[in-house]
Structures are given as C-alpha cells and as structure tokens.
Structure 1
Amino acid sequence: MHLDVVSTGAELDPAAAVRLRRAAEAGSLVRVARGAFTDRQAWDAADARERHRALIRAVMPRDRQGLVLSHASAVAVHGLPWIGSFGDRVVVTDPGRDRGQVKASIQRVGGRGRSLATVSIDGLRVTSLAATAVDVAIREHPWRAIAVLDAALRRGVTRTELGAELEGRRMRNPRVVRALVRSTDGDAESVGESITRWGAVVLGAPPLALQHEFRHEDGTVDRVDLWQPDLGVVIEFDGLVKYSDPAMQRGRAPHEIVVEEKRREDRLRRHRDVTGVGRATWREAMPGGLLPRILLDAGLPLGDRWPAAWRAAAIRAL
C-alpha cells in the first residue's frame, strides 16, 4: 500500500490548505507531520513500514538538502526486515554535522568525515544496503540488527563489504558489532531464523547451519531451519503465521497444519542422523525468553556463562 501525502506548503493555495486542516480536525485526514496529511482509512489500513515511508515523504522535501536517509528510515525504504517500531522521526545522516540533532519529525546523525555509500530510491538519497546494515548493527539492538544483516547478505551484500563499512567507524560495543557481522548468514529465510541463530550464538551453543535437507526412505524431503551436524540436533522456528496466514495455509485448516507439522517432526526424530529436535516461537527466541531451555532439552550444550549473557541481552529493550 502507498500512502499519498498532501502538504500545505507554498505550492498549495491558502483555501485548499484550510480545507486540509479542517478535514484533519474532522477526522477524515491524518496529520503525518507538520503541514502534511493523508487519508484516514488508508492510514488505518497501512502497516508500520508504509506509515514510516509516508513520514519520510512528508519530511524530506523540507529537509533533504545534503541529507542521506539512514538507519531505521533506510531500512524502511530498502524494504529490509525490522522488529518493532520504526519510530516517529525520519532518521538521516548529515555529512555537515559532527554531532546528532533531534527535532520534532527528524533525527540527524552526525556524518562529518564519513565516506557515505549511497543509492537513489524514489528520488531519495539513501545509504547503501551494506552501509544501512552496518549503521543498524552499530546503533540498534543485536536481535534487530541480525535480521537486517542477514537480509542484506541474502540480497547480495558480502561480509567483505560489511567489514569495509566498519573500518574507521566509532562503536560503543565493537565486540558485539563484529560478532554480529561474523555471524550473519544470507541463507536465513526469515527473521525468526535469524534471531534464533543469534540467540544460540549469545548462549555459546555450537554453530548452527541453515536450511539443511533430510531425505527419508519413502522419498520425502524435509528441510529444517537450523541444524547442528556434529550433535545431530534440529532447531525449528515456529512463527505461528503458518496457522493464520491464508497464503501459507494454502487451503488447509489450522488443525490440518498442526497434524502435518506433527508428522513432519516425527519423521525427523526417526531419522538416523537426528538425536534431538527443538522448536522455538517468537516469545522464546527473543531476549529473556525460554530459548536456553529449548536448546538444552534438544541436546545442545551452552557456554559456561550463558545465564549472565542471556540476562544481559534482556536488559536492553528493543
């Protein structure tokens, strides 16, 4: 969905501007930013990403000179995955500033001295995929960052490019940022796979491979989300959307999907190479969830200091 934004700027005659404001007061329009409005019904039907894109369209015509869309706003424009809110401000990098600045609808990040890799999208100057992923890794929660990094690799960005973007960058926690870049994997097909794998890294579990296929004697092939070959452990992410999204249901009732999933898990448990199977949902894979217990019960050892690492991950809110 594309939200059309109408502005009360100088190009609009005063009478039309008054009509827009009155429509907003009456509730048929939504105020996106100062002097910028969109249709209420379209706004209510839009998701968080398209609402943020509407905010960008409302703000950037007034503040675009020399500024580069970056961070969460670049994620929204690139169509990369994102956990949580995009925020109520457009985020830009300002090559002319040493320090950041926050205003009502725009947040400037200081970019003086930084060589900005950019692309043009819909007439807007945006940080490149690699630069966007590294910006997010440096400034955002690791669970949010790993999903963006994995998606960037899936689109063709290389770890070498990510490493080059890291050179010379100031970081509050370089150890975590570099661990995120080392751990990123373009084979991740969903945010759930990304955060479950990263949670296992934080917990000190053995490395998990993505998208492993198991062939059964009857010819059936099951592809699993995460696989530890040395220990024979399968970890699946169960996003639950398969039970409610018509596109994923493919005409099946939810109870039929549950039965199919049970049969699939039974096949995996019978496979000669599999010693254990664990399933994680969003609640369990997020910081502070029950992922440690799920991994341990499936047969994956965790690092000696995993309780402290898991508590620390839960302290910083998404």
Structure 2
Amino acid sequence: MPSLEVFGVAAGDPDPRARRRLIDGARGGALLRLMPGRYVVRSAFDAATEHERHRARIAAVVPAVGPGLVISHESAVAMHGLPWLGPFPEHVVMLDPKRAAGQRRAHVQKVGAAGRALQAERIGGCDVTPLCETAVDIALRAPFRTAIVVLDAVLARGVPRDRLLAELRQRTPRPRSSTRARRAIEFADGLADSPGESVARLTWAEEGFPPPALQREFRDGRGLIGRVDFWFEDAGVVVEFDGLVKYRDRDMRGGRSPEQVVVDEKFREDRLRALPEVRAVVRVTWRDVEPGGNGPERLERAGVRRAV
C-alpha cells in the first residue's frame, strides 16, 4: 500500500533547531503540517492520490490518540483501499468505545461506540473496522451515491449481502437512516467494475430505466469478444462506461500505446455491432452520468425505454 512519509521531531528532542527547521519549512511552503509536530513534503502530498493523502493524515494522528480507538467510516475506506467519490475529510474518523456521543477536534472525529461490539483488523499497524462494518457505517451516513460505490466494491470483494443486512440489523440508527442504508445494500451489485459503473447504474435507475445485466459476455464465430459493462437485453443495447483510465494507465494498457487501445476498442465495437442481437453500442463518460448529464437521453435515443 503506497504511503507518504510522515515525519516530525521526537518528543523530548533537545535540539530546538530541528523543530524550528520544520516550522520554517511549513511556513516556506516546502512542508505541510498535518497536525502539530507532524509533517509531509508538500510536493509529494500534492502529487499523491486522495487515498494516500488521507492515510498520511491517519499516520500522523494515530500515535497521538489514546488506545482502544478504531479507525472507521471514511478513514477505514481509505485504509481498505475502497473506491470513494470526491475528497476525503481533513480529519481522521475513529470509533471510541468509551463514548456514547461523538466528539470533534481539529484533526480527529471520535464517533461514540459505547455498547457496540467493536471488531477490528490490523492494517498498516492500525486497528481498522473490517469491510462489512465499514460498508454499513458508510451506508448509514454517506450520500447515497457514495454509499453505492463503496457497497458495490465490498460485495465484489466477497462480503455477502446477507452479512451486510445482518450487521445493519445490529445497529440502532434513526429509522430514516436505517431505511436508506437498507435500500443502498439491496441495490448494490458486486458485478459493477468501477465507481463510474456504480454511479451510471444508479443514475439510470433513478431515471426510471430497467436494470441492465452487468458484465455480460459476448461471442462470435471468432470466439470471445469480451464482457460489456451493461446490457439492456430488451432494447438490444450495449453500454460501455469509458472512464479514460484505460488510455492513461500504463498497467491497464498492457504495454499498448493509447492509440492502439483506441484501435482495439474500435475493432471490439465493430464485432459487437455485427451480432444480430446488438442494435446499438453506446459509450458514456463521467460527464454523462453525473447530475445534469445527458446519459439518460443517450439511452433513449439508442432505444432503451424507461419503465412505465
């Protein structure tokens, strides 16, 4: 798990110049202070992913908090490497079994967990809520779309839906939160292969389209063409979510140039369009499936009808 180096001056260090160098480095912009006494190199932080940045905040905070706390919610998402929409918070979220109510400080949000049977697993030397508990925590308080992205990924990692529902039943949230979390768990699908696919599926459901089949395989006389992201069978429409990562990420390109990836995708689409059951192939991007995007209109133009 890639990480940023977090450093500071050891407690009791007799050299005041060491502390002064860190303070001056932060004032000059070379360093970024994550919390009192804990720093990272700003250029490395700016170049890091959201997950790496938040894990750096966790590494800075954990040594300063008391024992018995468990990293949870958004912070547990970062530790597990689960997908997330948007930035992580600038504070670290932790469960506190000694508190009935929450407490917020500048760098830590303690969530009251008195009476909750806490479970934890060790990740990077820290106690973190397991996947199932993390997913339910997110389902109970994150925006619905964000919860779906996390739940889809947790199901894909092998956590059964029944286990998520059982974990939800053990909680005592407000009825509205519980109902929304249950809806999210029941809607989630581990076959979604990326956050973009999760958001696209939810967008179309909210717009009244029938649920598509996910990761459907297609073959022709030459053999396997591949798996498509979405298949609206009644309309004969294939939809592929194009997150552009396949063109930019060297590992995902498998040694091919971005130009060759485009050519290969074109040939793949031609083979799909040649199948008698496929009437149209539609490619969508993040812009199409975000609020206000034209993804729903593109589905309709391709022949996918909204459910009555």
Partner of 2:99: 97
1:116–1:230 distance in 2 versus 1, CA, 3 Å: farther
TM-score for the superposition, normalised by structure 2: 0.90
Partner of 1:40: 42
* Paired residue total: 304
Partner of 1:112: 114
RMSD, matched Cα? 2.1
Partner of 1:129: 131
Q: Distance in 1 between matches of 2:172 and 2:302?
A: 39
1:59–1:195 distance in 2 versus 1, CA, 3 Å: same
Q: Distance in 2 between matches of 1:200 and 1:178?
A: 19
Partner of 1:302: 306
Which of 163, 166, 173 is the aligned partner of 1:170?
Answer: 173
TM-score for the superposition, normalised by structure 1: 0.87
Which of 213, 217, 233 is the aligned partner of 1:229?
Answer: 233
Query: In the TM superposition, what whole-angstrom CA distance separates every residue of 1:64-83 from its partner, at most 9, and x where no partner exists?
Result: 42221111100111111111
Stretches of structure 2 lacking an aligned partner (at least 5 in a row): none
Q: What is the deviation of 1:288? A: 3.0
Q: Distance in 2 between matches of 1:181 and 1:192?
A: 18
Which of 271, 277, 287 is the aligned partner of 2:275?
Answer: 271
1:112–1:297 distance in 2 versus 1, CA, 3 Å: farther
Q: What is the deviation of 1:96? A: 2.3
Q: Distance in 2 between matches of 1:294 and 1:113?
A: 50
1:63 aligns with 2:65: yes
Partner of 1:201: 205
Secondary structure class of the residue paired with 1:277: strand
Q: Distance in 1 between matches of 2:236 and 2:66?
A: 53
1:107–1:160 distance in 2 versus 1, CA, 3 Å: same
1:73 aligns with 2:75: yes
Q: Distance in 2 between matches of 1:121 and 1:223?
A: 33
1:207–1:21 distance in 2 versus 1, CA, 3 Å: same
Q: Distance in 2 between matches of 1:258 and 1:8?
A: 51
1:245–1:9 distance in 2 versus 1, CA, 3 Å: same
Identity of aligned residues (%): 48
Partner of 2:143: 141
1:53–1:169 distance in 2 versus 1, CA, 3 Å: same
**Residue pair 1:93, 1:111 contacting (<8 A) in 2 also:** yes
Which of 133, 139, 157 is the aligned partner of 1:155?
Answer: 157
Q: Which residue identity lines up with residue 63 of structure 1 in the other structure?
A: V
**Residue pair 1:203, 1:303 contacting (<8 A) in 2 also:** no
Q: Distance in 2 between matches of 1:294 and 1:175?
A: 32
Secondary structure class of the residue paired with 1:227: strand
Q: What is the deviation of 1:120? A: 1.7
Partner of 2:24: 22
**Residue pair 2:61, 2:107 contacting (<8 A) in 1 also:** yes
Q: Which residue identity lines up with residue 124 of structure 1 in the other structure?
A: C
Q: What is the deviation of 1:297? A: 2.3
**Residue pair 1:278, 1:297 contacting (<8 A) in 2 also:** no
Query: In the TM superposition, what whole-angstrom CA distance separates every residue of 1:267-308 from its partner, at most 9, and x where no partner exists?
Result: 22221222333221011112332222122223322245xxxx
Partner of 2:55: 53
Partner of 1:242: 246
Partner of 2:4: 3
Stretches of structure 1 lacking an aligned partner (at least 5 in a row): 305-318
Query: In the TM superposition, what whole-angstrom CA distance separates every residue of 1:115-138 from its partner, at most 9, and x where no partner exists?
Result: 223212122111110111111111
Between 1:64-73 and 1:242-251, the stretch displaced more is: 242-251
1:293 aligns with 2:297: yes
Q: Distance in 2 between matches of 1:145 and 1:174?
A: 13
Q: Distance in 2 between matches of 1:85 and 1:93?
A: 21
Query: In the TM superposition, what whole-angstrom CA distance separates every residue of 1:188-240 from its partner, at most 9, and x where no partner exists?
Result: 22112222122222223222222111101233522101113344322210112
Q: Distance in 1 between matches of 2:120 and 2:54?
A: 20
**Residue pair 1:203, 1:292 contacting (<8 A) in 2 also:** yes
